Chains A and B, each alone.
Chain A
Amino acid sequence: MEKSAETVGSVDLKPPASDVGALGWIKTNLFNTPFNSFLTLLILLCLYKTVPPFIKWAFLGGVWFTNGAQCKVAEGACWSVVTQNLRFILFGFYPYEQQWRPAVAIVLLIGFLLYSRERRHWNRKLLVAWPLGLAVMGFIMRGGIFGLPVVETTKWSGIILTLLLAIFGLTAAYPLGVLLALGRRSQLPAIKMLSVIYIELIRGVPLISLLFMASVMFPLFLPEGITVDKILRAQVAIILFTAAYIAEVVRGGLQAIPKGQYEAAESLGLDYYQKMRLIILPQALKIVIPPTVSILISAFKDTSLVVIIGLFDLLKTTQVTLSNPEWMGFSAEAYLFISLVYFAGCFSMSNFSRRLEDELRT
């Protein structure tokens, strides 16, 4: 004690032992006040009551590769409902012997997504590669070339449909939303008014009603003999809907850019498009990455609403599986599985956006 008094000021002292190490961490973070101590104990109790039973149900007592009858006598979870029906849940009514084709398409897609995650890979080639890649996936799925039998889009279902609606929905809605946001701030009254009307009308109705309109009402307006693919109609509805929300978020970002940035860009002689593309949008879009990703994530999940108009996405194929008498009653397991699939998608998006934000910080 006396010794430390002498050395104060000349030597850095170690913090008291109670503030370092695991014990110190627990003390300062979990038991620093009576109320926090109470909360910590409460949470520990909850964990004790839920985690061991869950592990017992899911893993210790769970069965993985049995038939439905054996499941009914098992003590724990019946993961067999997923494993035995996996191909139907993922690929739906796509012809059974041809299901390697959607599998290849998905692997390609995931490859593309993983490659595009790295910002240093972003260049003009990648921009061209994307539409080409998507077209190749489309041809693999649709067939009709290289001796692949044709599979009509009406048979496309399961995770394929979910991914299709999500990928095209999000990539088309984003630029459309940006254009609408620019339109809403345009100096030209006609463009401004059209953008406002569009955004407010679309935001004023639920996605479900748009989907109904696309599937039921829209065909009534078409001349006889002309049909538009049902998936395409749902796709367009999702794009139009999501774009309106993106537009409002982007508009917020545009408003956050100081007037001086516009003036500096203009006084260099940049024209409107250069000013927006090089100066204003890069800053505005960066500011709104977090809310934009929120919209994209909820749009991804909202694709499951297409069950309403009779499309068989991942959620619907799962429901169909569960309506089979052999597998009735195992909905908890099946829904946990598709929750995991959706979670993987949403979590990667949110992870990607966080990384992007870090990399763009200047």
Chain B
Amino acid sequence: MVQSTASASETIIEIVGLHKWFGDFHVLKDINLQVNRGERIVICGPSGSGKSTLIRCINRLEEHQRGKIVVDNIELTKDIKNIEKIRTEVGMVFQHFNLFPHLTILENLTLGPIWVRKTARAEAEEIAMYYLEKVHIAEQAHKYPGQLSGGQQQRVAIARSLCMKPKVMLFDEPTSALDPEMVKEVLDVMIDLAQEGMTMLVVSHEMGFARSVAHRVLFMDYGQILEQNSPEEFFNNPGHDRSKLFLSQILH
């Protein structure tokens, strides 16, 4: 297991009494969650339980109706400048990569630093190449996303987020759209990232990954967090009936 680097002191994300509705549908119900700097959390639960919605609220891809979300001491309000500030500090990796198909890999990576961080182009390219090396894909820098395999695209997507030097990384089922033989190359990159102490919230059903890097596993169902536990406890001795049922379904 990766050594715990979380310092209990510093809170980077604080969610208090969060509720969200899609129309009449109550998708998140009274969510309370505190994430410390350097902490790594894996969120699992059945499809439709609200996992994506929860992490998408953290960078305001979804708007919440009640409760409070504070990221890096900035509260998420309607103020668009606040929202953009938080988004520059929070990286997001999507299930379907969402690379920009009209830009080369390198341009995908330098876009954020150049336009949002106002970094000079040469420096932005240097940073981009550094992270491309890190995800073992530097030789593809001048190709377009359409020319890469799924696993390669997802590693580029991770590198794209990292170029913004985020304080938190959100992952929404980063490996579930991949062919089985490509899952490992993406998880390896994420494990590297964990070892460097990145704060991570990962929606994933990759149990091996959860066991080796997570400090905490959250189990969600019906828009609620039903269980929070250490990975060992959660997998060996789940505390909630729904968790037991869920684990028995995905492990067999």
Q: Of B61, B116, B144, B160, which is within 8 A of A269 by CB?
A: B116
**Could you tell me the distance between the alpha carbons of A193 and B84 in the complex, rounded to whole angstroms?**
27
A258 contacts across to B, CB distance below 8 A = 98
* B92 contacts A by Cβ under 8 Å: yes
CB distance from A200 to the nearest CB of B (A): 29
Distance in Å: Cβ of B203 to nearest Cβ of chain A = 15
A169 to chain B, nearest CB (A): 28
- The listed residue (B59, B100, B164) touching A279 by CB distance below 8 A is B100
In the assembled complex, the Cα of A139 lies from the Cα of B174 at a distance in Å of: 61
B116 touches A260 (CB 8 A): no
Cβ contact of B88, chosen from A260, A264, A269, cutoff 8 A: A269
B115 touches A282 (CB 8 A): no
**Of A261, A264, A269, A362, the contact of B164 (CB 8 Å cutoff):** A269
Contact B144 A268 (CB under 8 A): no
Judge whether B111 and A267 touch: CB under 8 Å: no
B29 within 8 A of A: no
Q: Name the residue on A nearest B92 (C-beta).
A: A267
Q: Does B112 contact A (CB under 8 A)?
A: yes
Is B94 among interface residues, defined by CB-CB distance under 8 A?
Answer: yes
* B87 neighbours in A (Cβ, 8 Å): 266-269
Measured between C-beta atoms, what is the minimum distance from A270 to chain B in Å? Answer: 6
- Shortest Cβ distance from B85 into A: residue: A269
B94 touches A263 (CB 8 A): yes
- A263/B102 in contact, CB under 8 A: no
User: What 0/1 readout, one digit per residue, does chain B (83-109) give for beta carbons within 8 Å of chain A?
Assistant: 011011011101010111110000000
- Give chain A nearest CB distance to B106 CB in angstroms: 13
Nearest neighbor of B89 in chain A, beta-carbon distance: A269
**Does B48 belong to the interface (CB within 8 Å)?**
no
- The residue of chain A having its C-beta at the shortest distance from the C-beta of B99 within the complex is A264
- Which residues of B are found within 8 Å of A348, using beta-carbon distances? none
Interface contact A267-B101, CB-CB below 8 Å: no
Does A99 sit at the interface, judged by CB under 8 A?
Answer: no
A282 to B112, CA, bound (A): 17
**Cβ-defined partner of A261 (8 Å) among B85, B92, B100, B160:** B100
How many interface residues does B have (CB within 8 Å)?
Answer: 26
Given the known A-B contacts A362-B144, A362-B146, are A268 and B101 also in contact in the complex, defined by CB atoms under 8 Å?
no
Give the distance in Å from the alpha carbon of A352 to the alpha carbon of B91 in the complex. 40
The answer to whether A267 and B61 touch (CB under 8 A), given A278-B111, A362-B144, A362-B146, is yes
Kindly provide the distance from the CB of A121 to the nearest chain B CB, expressed in whole angstroms. Answer: 20
A261 contacts B115, CB within 8 Å?
A: no
Overall SS of chain A's interface? helix
Q: Which residues on the A side are within 8 Å of B85 (C-beta)?
A: 269
The answer to whether A263 touches B98, judged by C-beta atoms less than 8 angstroms apart, is yes
* Cβ–Cβ < 8 Å partners of B92 in chain A: 263-264, 267
> A271 vs B83: C-alpha distance in the bound complex, in angstroms?
10
Q: Of B96, B102, B146, which contacts A286 at CB under 8 A?
A: B102
Using CB atoms, name the residue of chain A closest to B112.
Answer: A268
Please, how many angstroms separate the alpha-carbon atoms of A265 and B99 in the complex?
A: 9
In Å, the complex CA distance between A270 and B144 comes to 21
With a cutoff of 8 Å between Cβ atoms, the chain A residues found around residue B80 in the complex are 271
* Residues in B whose Cβ lies below 8 Å from that of A274: 115-116
- CA–CA, A274 and B59, complex, Å: 18
**CB neighbours of A270 from chain B (8 A):** 84, 111-112, 115-116
Known A-B contacts A269-B112, A278-B111; A264 and B101 likewise in contact (beta carbons under 8 Å): no
B61-81, CB under 8 A of A: which get 1 and which 0? 100000000000000000010
Please give, as numbers and ranges, the residues of chain B lying within 8 Å of A282 by CB-CB distance.
Answer: 102
List B contacts of A261 (CB < 8 A). 98, 100
Q: Is A85 part of the binding interface, using a Cβ–Cβ cutoff of 8 Å?
A: no
**In the complex, are the beta carbons of A283 and B116 less than 8 A apart?**
no
- Contacting residue for B90 out of A265, A267, A279, CB 8 A: A267
Q: What 0/1 pattern do residues 103 to 115 of A give for CB contact below 8 A with B?
A: 0000000000000
Across the interface, which residues of A come within 8 angstroms of B102, CB to CB? 282-283, 286, 360, 362
For the complex, give the distance between the alpha carbons of A268 and B98 in Å. 12
Q: For A266, what are the chain B residues with a Cβ–Cβ distance below 8 Å? A: 59, 61, 87
Which of these, A263, A271, A283, contacts B84 with CB under 8 Å? A271
Q: Is the CB of B144 within 8 A of A264?
A: no
Within 8 A of B (CB), among A245-302: 258, 260-261, 263-271, 274, 278-279, 282-283, 286
Q: How far is the CA of A265 from the CA of B115 in the complex (A)?
A: 11
CA A269 to CA B89, docked complex, whole Å: 8
User: A268, B116: Cβ atoms under 8 Å?
Assistant: yes
In angstroms, Cα B61 to Cα A260, docked, is 11
Which residues of chain B are near A268, meaning CB under 8 Å? Answer: 87-88, 111-112, 116, 160-161, 164
Given contacts A278-B111, A278-B115, A362-B146, contact A264 B100 (CB under 8 A): yes
Q: Please name all residues of chain A whose beta carbon is closer than 8 Å to the beta carbon of B59 when the two chains form the complex.
A: 266-267
- 10 chain-A/chain-B pairs, Cβ below 8 angstroms: A263-B92, A264-B94, A264-B100, A265-B100, A267-B61, A267-B90, A268-B160, A269-B84, A270-B116, A283-B101
Q: Which 4 A-B pairs have the closest CB atoms?
A: A269-B88, A264-B98, A260-B98, A267-B92
